[in-house]
Amino acid sequence: VSTGLAERYKHLNQIVLTTVNSEQSSIDWRSLREKYAALSTLVKQTDHHISPIILLSFANNLYFICLQLLNGLS
């Protein structure tokens, strides 16, 4: 998921760079800004949904590490 979002940011940056470096006199900054805002919203929503899963995975791993340490010391 994060790789796909990073690629979208790279693509948007490429669009901005090619547009700025081109000979066009008018740049549609509004469209670029709206695309960036939509992408930022998507990242925030993804973070909101994935953060609890990451926290649960961390807690699960910590539990099993502590359990293995307890069994190793006993």
* 20-58 pLDDT tens trace: 887 766 778 888 899 999 999 999 999 999 999 999 999
Region of 51 (left: φ > 0; alpha: ψ -120 to 50; beta: rest) is alpha
Residue scoring higher pLDDT (18 or 7): 7
Is the model more confident about 24 or about 9?
A: 9
73 backbone φψ class: left, alpha, beta (φ>0; ψ -120 to 50): alpha
pTM over 0.75: no
Question: What local confidence, expressed as pLDDT, does residue 24 receive?
Answer: 67
Q: Where are the domains of the chain?
A: 2-73
Q: How far apart are the C-alpha atoms of 46 and 23, rounded to whole Å?
A: 37
pLDDT of residue 6: 95
Q: What are the tokens at 73?
A: 């010391």
